[in-house]
Structure 1
Amino acid sequence: MQSPNAEPGRARWAWAVPLAALALALLTAWFDPPALRGLRYATFDQFQRWHPRPYADPPVRIVDIDDESLRRVGQWPWSRDKVARLLAGIERGQPASVAVDVLFAERDGTVRRTATDPDADLARTLAQGKVVLGFGMTARRASPPAGADPNDDGLTLKAGYFPLGGDPTPFLPAFSSSVANLPDLQQAAAGQGAMTFIPDVDGVVRQVPLVLNLDGRLVPSLAAEALRLAAGVGHYTLRSSGNEGGVIDVRIGERVIATDAGGALWVHYARPQAARYIPAWKVLDGSLPADAFRGRIVLVGTSAQGLMDLRFSPLGGVIPGVEVHAQALEQILTDHHLERPGWTPAVEWIATLLGCGLVALLAMKRSAAVSSAGFLALAAGAGLAAWAAFVRGSLLLDPLTPMLAMALVFVPTTVMRYLQSERRQRWMKQTFARYVSPNLVDYLIAHPEALVLEGRRQRCSFVFTDLAGFTRLMERMDPATAVGLVNGYLDRMIAIAFEHDGTLDRIVGDAVAIMFSAPVEQRDHEQRALRCALQMQAFSRRYVDDLASRGIEFSETRIGVHTGEVTVGNFGGEAIFDYRALGDAVNTAARLEGANKHLGTLICVSEATLAGCPDAPARPIARLRLAGRAGYLMTYEPLQSPDAEYQRAFEMMRGGSEQALAAFEALASERPDDALVRLHVARLRSGTSGDAIELLEK
């Protein structure tokens, strides 16, 4: 099994997933593919549906050639004298200007020519007011009539232009030719404006151009010309950002209208209003109030289904094309702005970068729950910020690109982290289940930060066990029987260690080494180690007695317990996992286990361990100088209850009292089976005093 020391390298490679997703998200946002633009526009449309422009009865009216007007007056096309009567009826109402969203490209064919020319009558009517005629535009160059000047498209414009800051023509929507009105009608009209819209790929009209590029010539839109005539000015002022940034705004009289780089106005649509429309038949029969048009901009158009002048609206459904012009004029005249300035893509790209970066960090560094909450909070923040900008600032900011980009980073990174977590959990279960108790495995899976495999200094407690004289016993025992007995013994010893949340350090033959406070730190590791040793010793005694009752000889267990600072970690390299501890404390615990055979004890506990168990009853053994150590180590034998008589005799011996021998001899007569008492009696009789014992053998 590969060691987890390779995890840092894997972690570095793991960053390739969020970084690649981040790069892809940023490139997608930068190149802005049509599908992304479509989703962005759909978001803007939803904003409009949630928060349409309030209708405040602005000075704009539509004279509508509706189905009822066609029923009353006659089917379209109407004769020019009827159109003239309609315009004359509007002019009598003293409007600010009139814009006709109808094209008169051919002579009147509905009336046989007589002394009165209907087109001439219409021209005279046009000349009496401030009327804008609409013309069409096409991207394909039309073939000029035979004998006509190929550079003359027959379009006569009435307005002038003052460009500021550079030539705006390259940034405007470009068309190659126009479909113009009759020349005498053009001459009579006060202005001419393009009726052309530029719908988005989904057919929705979201912007109305104020100025367009007709084969290198600046031409106004129908709405712009209507506004110019109402303002009583003869020119437009176009302000551009150098020769690279496009149009900034268009000035018409006193009004400065912010546009996009292509000179178009973003339209914030109001809901359909019946007050906006006046049927054409009411103008013709003279049934309108005298002030119905006074001071207003009047647009003449059609909503009749059969005339096919219908457009898709961001609010849903279709509306007459003339209403799009009217909505744009309403917005301008009420000083309501809907803008998407040139700096917004840069802001959105930066927001995308920051949002994706934060999502990547959360997904890589935090739990799935925290990173998911962070992603949702960031996505919601982007949406709420864009919504607030729309409602409070009339700004169109795109929340969808940052949201989608963050999702593009979050999803693969989270999936990768999940797969990594699953792999790590499987590895931990497979590996640590052999070393530590199941509840510690569960804890490490839930808190992987608690696991440090690279190596660290840690104060731990150790329990070393070994079977006394087991090698000689094995020589007399059937191998199959010996293996079964040892395995049963070791299974229970390890189970006891796991019950106390110990970690299996190693098994060498019949010897077991248990570690406490690693890999998970345990504040009471000394107490755990001592309780574990006592339970192991109790089990060993029962195991020996049970086998003896069946006529099977088995060895007693000797145990050493010590506490000290060691280095813990994986010492198996890249090829194999071997989580263990190295240091003097480990060797000392092993030496204490071996000291039992010289002392006559079964459990030998160091003073360092017993200091962490203040209520544990124990009797002092001696100050031992173990093999390989320069100093002495105070050791104890744990008991079920305090032994006051032994303690008094030991204190006499430690103090060099001549009465110590008599005290221990009295204890020996009372406790003939107490090996530790017999040891001290033998030492004192040999003339040795004090509590120090040197054990130079391992």
Structure 2
Amino acid sequence: MPRFRLFSLGGGFCLAVLLGLVFVFLLDPMPVQKVRNAVFDQYQRWHPRVYQDAPVRIVDLDEESLRRIGQWPWPRTQVAALVDKLEQAGAAAIVFDVLFAEPDRTSPSQLLRGNQLPPGLAAELAALPDHDAQLADVLKPGNTVLGFAAEQSSSAVGPPLSRFGLVLQGQSPLSFVPAFQGASRPLPELEQAARGVGAMTFRPDADGVVRRVPLFVSLAGELRPSLVAEALRVAQRTGRYRITSSESGVQRVDIGRLQIPTAASGELWVYFTGPQPSRSLPAWQVLDGSAPPLAGAIIMIGTSAQGLQDLRFSPLGGIIPGVEVHAQALEQILTDTLLLRPGWSLAVESLTLLLGGLALGLLALSIPALASAVLMVVLVALLNAAAWYGFVAHRLLLDLFTPSIGLMLVYGAASIVRHMAAEREQRWVHAAFSRYVSPNLVKHLVAHPERLILGGQRQMCSFVFTDITGFTSMMERRTPESAVSLLNEYLEQVIAIAFRHEGTLDRIVGDAVAIMFSAPIPQADHQQRALSCALEINRFAQSYVASLREQGIDFGHTRIGVHSGEVVVGNFGGSMIFDYRALGDPVNTTARLESLNKQLGTLVCASEAIRQNCPQVPMRPVGEVRLKGKDESVQVFEPVEAMAKSMGTCDEAYEAAYRLLQTGDPAAVSAFVTLSDQRPWDGLVAFHLRRLLNDEQGIHFEMRRK
């Protein structure tokens, strides 16, 4: 291709790609947001905030406190005692990350409702003080803040009381801050007694990770402070807020002497520390007087107990209590270690993509490939090093990684145009076989394309077929996104195992996987590779199911069939579609062996062809099976390793019973009854016992369903 024509066509194509990328970047779709969030999360993992002792403490309603004092909710008299202890300790503010939306069920007035009590007892209960009133009396003189839960439902209770002044400078922030239609509020008498009421709600991102905490929310069209904002206001004994906004969003929130720069949404990016034991103390220590000094501290009262379900995903990769998110936000405000994402960040990132893309595109079209590649790597490295320096030195959240991806895409587009003609054959071979062949064989096939025969040829191959039990019903029980995520993680590991054994991925159909060995490159030990691959997949699948069940997720077991035989392998897609696969009876037999597991109650079935070539692997015989759609029987075996519970290197008790079954000895019934009593988990024993009880003799039987 002449240079001027290459430059003209390539330049136009690269410019179109670049403008498209800039447009997508400015639209800020969910994938771009996820990449940006992942970059910012990684910054925090590499360089978390160093904990500085700030006047913020968490009083934790932890498991031990619940064990000592009783399950939550505690009587309001107990909560009042906790508040009283904290007031005596000199707390600057006592902030509840707990919602008191319902009356105390242990109050005398509540006990009288719906209970038929003797008149004397009822009169005595009626004369006792109400627990909620007692808590309100304790809250009233103190510096306490209660929380409300902002909700999208307009049927929720309306806005809470206002106890603050609000000065707005610039444009109204209502259109920028998180918006909610209603709220679940504390009991009126408690709300009136508290010094402040703030929103406990924060919005996790699409991946469930909490990265920002709002300072203000819009509640039914009215501005309301968050729990963090109210904690700071009450602790400083100030009565008003100042919000500075522009056309691009909220810029700053002033609370007393504190000036807090925010994101355009009025939210604060939380800069997390690692676990810090001194940040929290259990509630029971406060109540028994053994807590350390708390004078002048903002006290956040919340829970880390798993049963109370206030746990959140952290950018550092762990799960932390929701109250700790509020506490860490307060710490970084008070220690002036705020994360900053200025309003000019998006402009810098967009210009980086546009100008860098233009430069790289021109270089890739005009200078040698190696030189342009080196320049591209250097530019991307410098950009990301600058962003990293900004984070470490100035706590700036600047995403130059996402534009770097765009730069690499522009460079790739230019390189494709430049080298398209010269590399067409290698790209075709590489693109075709990188989907089917284990990665270590791709390079060999590209270097020796004459080894790849398009069409069909006869070849001895081995096959591994897998399928997941009950996957369709699992799809119906779970959301599609959740089910697909679990399946993708499973398939990724199965394919990785196949590639480790240098197998070729034949196809994936839903949750089923077909793996081929000895094609396109012959493998002398393909039977051993196939069986080893099947056993490793079985071990992984068992472990994967167990780990998911520990998380309360039901995932089906994997059934596996292994067989070997002569097939025709090659490209059967014609000239329009490349479809490299194997055809022949052994392929169908492998599929039937996988399905036979359902009837047998086993997980792995191997044929006689596999067993003969793998004498070192202990197996126990299943029988002579006439598979569905077949006229001849196949000798089937189960690897001992694949049994539900390991029996070591052999299963002598089963094989003794099997010999009785094979010879038609009536003692086979009692032998299998004994085995069944000893191993209620052994599916193959149960299968043969059912046959014997149904007067089916011998080791010959038929596969009844696919």
TM-score in terms of structure 2 length: 0.57
Out of 225, 230, 235, the residue aligned to residue 235 of structure 2 is 230
Structure 1 pair 301–177 and aligned structure 2 pair: CA distance change class (3 A): same
Structure 1 residue 337, shift from structure 2 partner: 1.6
Q: Which residue of the partner structure matches residue 361 of structure 1? A: 362
Q: Which residue of the partner structure matches residue 170 of structure 2? A: 165
Deviations 1:1-60 (A, max 9, x none): xxx7x6533431232221122122211212121101101100000000000011011110
Q: Which residue of the partner structure matches residue 39 of structure 1? A: 35
Q: Which residue of the partner structure matches residue 68 of structure 1? A: 64
Q: Which residue of the partner structure matches residue 298 of structure 1? A: 299
Q: Which residue of the partner structure matches residue 394 of structure 2? A: 393
Secondary structure at the aligned position of 1:380 is classed as helix
Structure 1 pair 422–408 and aligned structure 2 pair: CA distance change class (3 A): closer
Deviations 1:526-576 (A, max 9, x none): xxxxxxxxxxxxxxxxxxxxxxxxxxxxxxxxxxxxxxxxxxxxxxxxxxx
| Equivalent pair of 1:382/1:402 in contact (CA under 8 Å) | no
Q: Which residue of the partner structure matches residue 131 of structure 1? A: 144
Q: Which residue of the partner structure matches residue 268 of structure 1? A: 271
Out of 256, 259, 280, the residue aligned to residue 256 of structure 1 is 259
Q: Which residue of the partner structure matches residue 73 of structure 2? A: 77
| Equivalent pair of 1:66/1:279 in contact (CA under 8 Å) | yes
Deviations 1:179-214 (A, max 9, x none): 100111011000000000111111111111001100
1:247 has 2:242 as partner: no
Structure 1 residue 111, shift from structure 2 partner: 3.6
Structure 1 pair 80–366 and aligned structure 2 pair: CA distance change class (3 A): same
Secondary structure at the aligned position of 2:242 is classed as strand
Cα separation, 2, equivalents of 1:345 and 1:154: 34
Secondary structure at the aligned position of 1:136 is classed as strand
Deviations 1:400-424 (A, max 9, x none): 221111111011211221125569x
Cα separation, 2, equivalents of 1:354 and 1:10: 21
Please tell me the residue identity of whatever aligns with 1:181. P
| Equivalent pair of 2:93/2:234 in contact (CA under 8 Å) | yes
Cα separation, 2, equivalents of 1:321 and 1:9: 60
Cα separation, 2, equivalents of 1:422 and 1:81: 79
| Equivalent pair of 2:353/2:406 in contact (CA under 8 Å) | yes
Please tell me the residue identity of whatever aligns with 1:417. R
Structure 1 residue 347, shift from structure 2 partner: 0.5
Q: Which residue of the partner structure matches residue 448 of structure 1? A: none
- Residues 522-541 of structure 1 aligned to structure 2 (within 5 Å): none
Q: Which has the larger radius of gyration?
A: 1
Please tell me the residue identity of whatever aligns with 2:341. R
Q: Which residue of the partner structure matches residue 317 of structure 2? A: 316
Cα separation, 2, equivalents of 1:232 and 1:15: 63
| Equivalent pair of 1:30/1:349 in contact (CA under 8 Å) | yes
Deviations 1:264-296 (A, max 9, x none): 11111011100000100011111224xx21011
Cα separation, 1, equivalents of 2:423 and 2:133: 86
Structure 2: 5+ residue stretches without partners: 110-124, 425-706
Q: Which residue of the partner structure matches residue 205 of structure 2? A: 200
- Residues 55-454 of structure 1 aligned to structure 2 (within 5 Å): 55-113=51-109, 114=125, 115-142=128-155, 153=158, 155-241=160-246, 244-289=247-292, 292-420=293-421
Deviations 1:417-438 (A, max 9, x none): 1125569xxxxxxxxxxxxxxx
Secondary structure at the aligned position of 2:50 is classed as coil
Q: Percent identity?
A: 49
| Equivalent pair of 1:154/1:183 in contact (CA under 8 Å) | no
Please tell me the residue identity of whatever aligns with 1:126. L
| Equivalent pair of 1:351/1:402 in contact (CA under 8 Å) | yes
* Matched pairs, number: 408
Deviations 1:627-669 (A, max 9, x none): xxxxxxxxxxxxxxxxxxxxxxxxxxxxxxxxxxxxxxxxxxx
Q: Which residue of the partner structure matches residue 8 of structure 2? A: 12
Please tell me the residue identity of whatever aligns with 1:79. P
Cα separation, 1, equivalents of 2:315 and 2:52: 20
- Residues 482-501 of structure 1 aligned to structure 2 (within 5 Å): none
Higher relative contact order (CA closer than 8 Å, sequence separation 6+): 1
Secondary structure at the aligned position of 2:281 is classed as strand
Please tell me the residue identity of whatever aligns with 1:64. D
Please tell me the residue identity of whatever aligns with 1:228. R
| Equivalent pair of 1:86/1:283 in contact (CA under 8 Å) | yes
| Equivalent pair of 2:58/2:281 in contact (CA under 8 Å) | yes
| Equivalent pair of 2:62/2:283 in contact (CA under 8 Å) | yes
